[in-house]
Structure 1
Amino acid sequence: MRRCYVTVTGRVQGVGMRMACASQAEQAGVAGWVRNRSDGSVEVVLEGEEGAVDGVLRWLYSGPPAARVDDVSVRTEDPQGEQGFHVR
């Protein structure tokens, strides 16, 4: 199991990033959550099998078509048993 705390910056709010991220995570069987931050970035927690988490991480580097991703910061954390994927 792998857990990552991710911050995505750029034009990532108002472009469908949270819903698209949730869809990607659910399709991959990855648990966690996604939410907008007040500074304009998007915060994501991903937890699941390493290959599935890596797949969602790769997607975050481009995001949905209307997004412009400038930076993706990834920090590995200890798994905490997340269940399901939620948009906050």
Structure 2
Amino acid sequence: MQAKVKRYYVVVRGRVQDAGYRKRIESTAELFNIRGFPWNNGDGSVKIICEGLEDSLNRFLEDINIKERLPSGILVESLEKKEISIEFPLPPKFVRLKTEGITDISRKLDIGTDRLKGIEANTGAMAVVLGSINSKLDKLDKLDTLPERIAEAIK
């Protein structure tokens, strides 16, 4: 029996943009020998055209259907697939379509700026904690001379 090649149009919704999800899709597609491409859609979803052997394609879709939030923030709320006809050629490798323009780059820079501000605030709080630790270490340094001071007091 010949393995059947299928092609799907997939819509993924959830926390799937600005979290590295398309990169995750690409690396997973490579593992399962899937061809096609993902792209960010304006409504916040990620859309995918993918093609491969039916079993590999199903395992690929199962693997990218991330139901537990990853440290990067990726979380899939829904994954809808629709089989489509194989009428146009796909690239030999799974590749990302760059659909973002200047406005999206600006939006991503704004997100990065906000994250850097959060890091700056956290490091400010760390300075306060480190100051407290330093004062406690100074007190511990004084304990280094305690045996000598006790011996002196006993004399």
Tell me the TM-score normalised to structure 2 length.
Answer: 0.53
Contact 1:8 1:60 in 2 (8 A): no
The number of residues matched between the two structures is 88
Match of 2:24 among 4, 13, 20: 20
| RMSD (Å) for aligned C-alpha atoms | 1.5
1:33 aligns with 2:37: yes
**Structure 1 match to 2:12:** 8
Match of 2:60 among 43, 56, 62: 56
Q: Deviations over 1:12-63 (max 9, x none)?
A: 1011100110000011110000010111000011101111111111012117
Contact 2:17 2:40 in 1 (8 A): yes
**Structure 1: runs of 5+ lacking an equivalent:** none
**Bigger share in helix:** 2
- Flag the structure with larger Rg: 2
1:74 aligns with 2:81: yes
Q: Distance in 2 between matches of 1:42 and 1:78?
A: 20
Contact 1:4 1:76 in 2 (8 A): yes
**Structure 2 match to 1:86:** 95
1:67 Cα deviation (Å)?
Answer: 1.0
**Bigger share in strand:** 1
**Structure 2: runs of 5+ lacking an equivalent:** 98-155
Taking CA–CA contacts closer than 8 Å with sequence separation of 6 or more, which of the two structures ends up with the larger relative contact order?
Answer: 1
